[in-house]
């Protein structure tokens, strides 16, 4: 995505950009982010450790990895909404070039929802059960954008319409809506302030397959029409394949591999990505032959030295348990942190690591053009 595009996309937004925005800076640039959770009477949990990534205007990035690998924590630290015992221990989160990490709570409020909004997993719990849906959507418009109540209510109704809920349901309470409708309402709420970035943390997990597809189509459409950027956290790799431009795979609080969806899914380089892809069921694969990843993720209170995947990795070498691998970037835009790809050996793939046909099958099942050969 070019700077030109970014400018157009930014110009489409209704509300002024933050005053401190650095011209020409990318939408979001996360660098070396680390998050710790204090634990009573014990070592703290290093839930996120040195994560970096960048998100351009209008771009959609998928975030995947086993449960507990730090996806939600990463997302929450972008808006600094970590649980009370959590703290960003190092790194920066730059939005339009503005570092959000040192901001006070009061300053931070300016960026929440107006620039970055979120759609959580269970809208039943994420919506306030005793407030009308319309009021909950209108709330940020009224409070954050200073719109009069009437205008805010009107806008809320429009937003509901936009996500395919009849306007008159604005007076409904969350429990009166179906699961899919609630998730739509949640999306309408996320759009209330016309944000630059919407983060969806497993926004469709609780829904049945049909509704899931509808919600994803909706997100896709909104992204196109509104020029949104999207960060989509999900366990469903086919969803990422369908919806996202890029994907980031996390393992035990670190980035394993990141890059364009097609490249990464058709030719995974990191052994963990490969395992993840081959353990993912898809329409073609015979479920009985599905790979599982033996073992379980490490205890993040005392992660193993070196590569955190080493205890479970079939390709582990002596160096893996001693030194943490550094990230290398390939010409095709993929970034990998694995000793199989030492710095300087860019463009080289060790044989036998990449996924078998299943990764490709996944991409085909996801109706993407067949991926090219491996580099």
Ligand X SMILES: Nc1ncnc2c1ncn2[C@@H]1O[C@H](COP(=O)(O)OP(=O)(O)OP(=O)(O)O)[C@@H](O)[C@H]1O
Sites of contact with Mg ion (CB under 5 A): 72
Q: Which stretch binds ligand X (CB under 6 A): 13-21, 63-71, 110-118, 340-348?
A: 63-71
Name the site residues for ligand SF4 (rule: CB under 6 A).
Answer: 270-272, 307, 309-310, 313, 315-317, 320, 325, 338-340
Residue 64: phi, psi to the nearest 5?
Answer: -135, 165
Q: Which stretch binds another protein (CB under 8 A): 139-147, 255-263, 339-347, 355-363?
A: 139-147
Q: Residues 169 to 208: which contact ligand X by CB under 6 A?
A: none
Residue among 69, 54, 23, 34 at smallest CA distance from 308: 69
Q: Which is nearer to ligand SF4, 51 or 199 (CB)?
A: 51
Pick left, alpha or beta for residue 253 (phi over 0 → left; psi -120 to 50 → alpha; otherwise beta): left
- Pairing state of beta strands 98-99 and 86-95? antiparallel
Applying CB under 6 A, does 67 fall inside the site for ligand X?
A: yes
Applying CB under 6 A, does 119 fall inside the site for ligand X?
A: no
Q: Tell me how crowded residue 314 is: count the other CB atoms within 10 A of its CB.
A: 11
Q: Which is nearer to ligand X, 101 or 145 (CB)?
A: 101
Q: How far is CA 349 from CA 15, 254, 328, 339, 375, in A?
A: 46, 21, 12, 11, 7
**Binding test (CB under 6 A) with ligand X, winner from 86, 91, 174, 180:** 86
Q: Which is nearer to Mg ion, 72 or 229 (CB)?
A: 72
Q: Residues 173 to 192: which contact another protein by CB under 8 A?
A: 173, 175-176, 189
- Which of Mg ion, ligand SF4, another protein, none is residue 122 near (CB under 5 to 8 Å by kind)? another protein
Q: What distance in Å separates the CA atoms of residue 53 and residue 335, rounded to the nearest whole number?
A: 10
Q: What is the DSSP string of 59-112?
A: -EEEEE-STTSSHHHHHHHHTT---TTEEEEEEEEEETTEE-TT--HHHHHTTB
Q: Which is nearer to another protein, 144 or 329 (CB)?
A: 144
Q: What distance in Å separates the CA atoms of residue 135 and residue 178, rounded to the nearest whole number?
A: 18
Give contact residues for another protein (rule: CB under 8 A).
Answer: 41, 79, 81, 105-106, 108-114, 117-118, 120, 122, 125-131, 139-140, 143-144, 173, 175-176, 189
């Amino acid at each position: 995505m070019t700077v030109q595009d970014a400018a157009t996309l930014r110009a489409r937004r209704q509300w002024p950009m933050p005053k401190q925005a650095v011209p020409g800076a990318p939408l979001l640039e996360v660098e070396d982010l680390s998050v710790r959770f204090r634990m009573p009477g014990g070592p703290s949990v290093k839930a996120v450790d040195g994560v970096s990534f960048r998100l351009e205007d209008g771009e959609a990035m998928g975030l995947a990895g086993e449960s507990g690998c730090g996806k939600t924590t990463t997302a929450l630290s972008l808006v600094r909404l970590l649980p009370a015992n959590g703290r960003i221990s190092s790194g920066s989160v730059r939005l339009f070039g503005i570092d959000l990490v040192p901001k006070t709570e009061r300053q931070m409020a300016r960026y929440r929802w107006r620039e970055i909004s979120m759609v959580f997993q269970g809208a039943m719990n994420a919506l306030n059960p005793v407030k009308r849906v319309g009021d909950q959507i209108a709330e940020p418009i009224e409070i954050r954008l200073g719109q009069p109540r009437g205008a805010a209510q009107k806008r809320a109704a429009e937003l509901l319409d936009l996500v395919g809920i009849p306007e008159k349901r604005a007076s409904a309470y969350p429990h009166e809506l179906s699961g899919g409708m609630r998730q739509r309402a949640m999306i309408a709420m996320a759009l209330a302030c016309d944000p630059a970035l919407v983060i969806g943390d497993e926004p469709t997990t609780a829904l049945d397959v049909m509704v899931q597809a509808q919600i994803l189509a909706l997100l896709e459409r909104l992204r196109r029409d509104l020029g949104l950027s999207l960060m989509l956290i999900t366990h469903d790799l086919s969803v990422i394949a369908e919806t996202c431009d890029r994907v980031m795979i996390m393992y035990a609080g670190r980035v394993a591999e990141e890059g364009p969806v097609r490249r990464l899914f058709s030719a995974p380089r990191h052994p963990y990505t490969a395992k993840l892809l081959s353990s993912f069921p898809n329409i073609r694969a015979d479920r009985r032959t599905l790979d599982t990843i033996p073992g379980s993720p490490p205890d993040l209170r005392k992660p193993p030295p070196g590569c955190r995947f080493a205890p479970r990795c079939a390709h582990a070498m002596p160096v893996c348990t001693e030194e943490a691998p550094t990230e290398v970037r390939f010409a095709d835009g993929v970034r990998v942190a694995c000793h199989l790809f030492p710095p300087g050996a860019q463009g080289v793939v060790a044989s036998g690591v990449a996924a078998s046909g299943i990764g490709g099958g996944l991409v085909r099942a996801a109706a993407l053009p067949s991926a090219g050969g491996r580099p």
